Amino acid sequence: MVGWLGDWLRDIIAVILLAVFVELLLPNKAMLRYARLVIGLFILLTILSPILKLLQSDVSARLDGIDGLWSETAMMREVPMTGLGQIRRDAEQLSEKRNLEAAGLAEKTLEDAMKNELTQRGGAPVESVDASLKWVDQSGVRTPYISQVVVTLKAAGKEEGGEGEGEATVEEVEPVSVMVDVEGAGGEASREAGAEEPAGEAGRADEPPGESGRWTRADPATAAAIGSIIARGWGVGEEQIVVRLPAGREATH
């Protein structure tokens, strides 16, 4: 009992000593009043500490709130202070994103148009057309150009290549990929937007990408026919067009 009383008294004395030091340290009278209030509260808390223990309230956890409160106000002060640089970066990111979306849309439209054209011209049945756009900086303005077109033909059982037979005669056509690689605009270091698909890179090689196993090239006649259609319609260099067939089930001619 006496030991507990001694502890309590020692705490109170220590807090009061602390208060005296603080009063000495404070710079001016105006602040002194406010600091005195807080320190008085601390002394009160220390004097009340036996009661606090009795009531079993979680004092230390509550007081830890001081830190939380402080960092909260600090955070609130930072939020409205978004710098001009930050805003610019955000704007750039947004416009980049918008460009990407626009490029994606353009690619899709382009692919659809090419596929329609190829189907109408009665070339080999086309499974899918895959166009890759790339960006180039032309005097500060980023403009897209078609870097590659991959036309995937349907592998037909007994399909008659490019003779304009309706699809009726074609049993089943397998994916043919035409890769078109346009270098038209690409003199300068072109920043490549993400608009190109992963296959695009490898696709620049002569052989269609990674496809020794999966794809074979279509026969030169068909490829040339398709290539010329696309080249005429969209101004894509023929060397950038890749026509491919799924391997294994090569089209028989």
| Interface contacts to other proteins, rule CB under 8 A | 7, 10-11, 13-15, 17-18, 21-22, 25-28, 30-31, 34-35, 37-39, 41-42, 44-46, 48, 51-52, 55, 57, 59-60, 62-67, 69-70, 73
Q: Which is nearer to other proteins, 41 or 205 (CB)?
A: 41
* Least separation in angstroms between CB 63 and other proteins: 5
Least separation, in Å, of the C-beta of 90 and other proteins?
A: 30
Give 65 or 157: the residue with its C-beta nearer to other proteins.
Answer: 65
Q: Which is nearer to other proteins, 18 or 94 (CB)?
A: 18
Nearer to other proteins, 22 or 224 (CB): 22
Among residues 48 and 105, whose Cβ is nearest to other proteins?
48
CB of 87 to other proteins, least distance (A): 26
CB of 84 to other proteins, least distance (A): 24
Give the nearest distance from C-beta 57 to other proteins in angstroms: 7
**Minimum separation from the CB atom of position 76 to other proteins (A):** 11
In this structure, the number of other CB atoms found within 10 A of the CB of residue 219 comes to 17
CB of 77 to other proteins, least distance (A): 11
Name every residue whose Cβ is closer than 8 Å to that of residue 58 and which is 6 or more positions away in sequence. Answer: none
> By C-beta, is 1 or 84 nearer to other proteins?
1
| Contact between residue 103 and residue 195 where contact means Cβ atoms under 8 Å apart | yes
CA angle 165-169-174, nearest 5°? 95
- Residue 7 or residue 92: which is nearer to other proteins going by CB? 7
- CA–CA separation, 77 and 145 (whole Å): 46
Phi–psi pair at 247, nearest 5 degrees: -75, 165
